Amino acid sequence: MLALAGCGGTGGSTTAPTTNTTTTQASVDYPPGVTAAGVESGFDLTDAHAEALRTSDYEVTEITSVRVNGSGYEAYMQTTKASGDTLSASRGYSATPPGNDYSSVAFWSNATTGTVQYTHDDGNTTTATVGGPGDTDLVRTPDQWSEYLYTLLAAGQLEVSETDDGNVELRATDAVNVSTEYGEAATETLSATVTPNGFVTDISVSYTTTIDGEPATVSKQFTFERGDVTVTKPAWA
């Protein structure tokens, strides 16, 4: 006699029904101007960063190293602090370009007036007055940061990935042609971390270019932090 499944015949077996389970990955909260495919609007991304700087106190740390023909040409670390319309910066050199005899530079400004002080190798100082933070290449205003970051983050295709803390990392997998303060350059490395609201917490870039007709390699790292910052006017300003 043929035994049918579910009947009382001997030798039969019962198979449990199969449940199909679908796992949905949490969606990534991309910053303005960024999609899974890359930076679709560099303007939206860098404008969001500038707006974050305009609406809070902030601090920027920069580490720059320049090598020409394989030899040290310029190297410094700079800390810039901004609170409202008041801004200060302090830059210390471990190597200065030929013809420069200063070991450090300090800057202070309010909305209309800025002052720069150079400390020379012999210990003497030189002080100069400038129109404001937008009139010196020592510091950048939020709009100038937007322009600078645009030259890097909108220059080519960047790979997008999510970090463990919910931010987004942008990384160039190939060389990107960029405009720099030294002229046109090709990147060797380029990466940035951006929060969902478009605030760039850090960016690092290294590129090859020419300085005084010689081959050069430039490396720059920037770290941005938002929060309460105190900017005190120095006695020399």
CATH number (domain holding residue 149)? 2.50.20
Residues 8, 98: Cα–Cα separation, whole Å: 98
94 within domain boundaries: yes
| Rounded average pLDDT over 45-69 | 97
pLDDT score of 16: 45
26 within domain boundaries: no
Q: The pTM is what?
A: 0.86
Domain tally for the chain? 1
Residues 45, 50: Cα–Cα separation, whole Å: 9
Work out the percent of the chain whose per-residue pLDDT is above 70.
Answer: 89
Q: Which is more confidently placed, 101 or 10?
A: 101
Tokens 């077996």 belong to which residue? 13
Confidence of residue 209 (pLDDT cuts 50, 70, 90): very high
Residues 181, 66: Cα–Cα separation, whole Å: 12
Average per-residue pLDDT for the chain: 89
Confidence of residue 26 (pLDDT cuts 50, 70, 90): low
Q: Is the pLDDT of residue 155 over 90?
A: no
| Rounded average pLDDT over 25-42 | 89
Note down the domain range covering 106: 34-226
- Of 87-91, 109-113, 227-231, the range with the lowest mean pLDDT is 109-113
For residue 221, give the H/E element and its range: strand 214-226
pLDDT score of 4: 35
Q: Is the pLDDT of residue 1 over 70?
A: no
172 within domain boundaries: yes
At 18, is the secondary structure helix, strand, or coil?
Answer: coil
| Rounded average pLDDT over 194-222 | 97
111 within domain boundaries: yes
Residues 39, 191: Cα–Cα separation, whole Å: 12
pLDDT by residue (tens digit) across 72-87?
Answer: 999 999 999 999 999 9
pLDDT score of 135: 82
13 within domain boundaries: no
| Rounded average pLDDT over 58-72 | 97
4 within domain boundaries: no
8 within domain boundaries: no
236 within domain boundaries: no
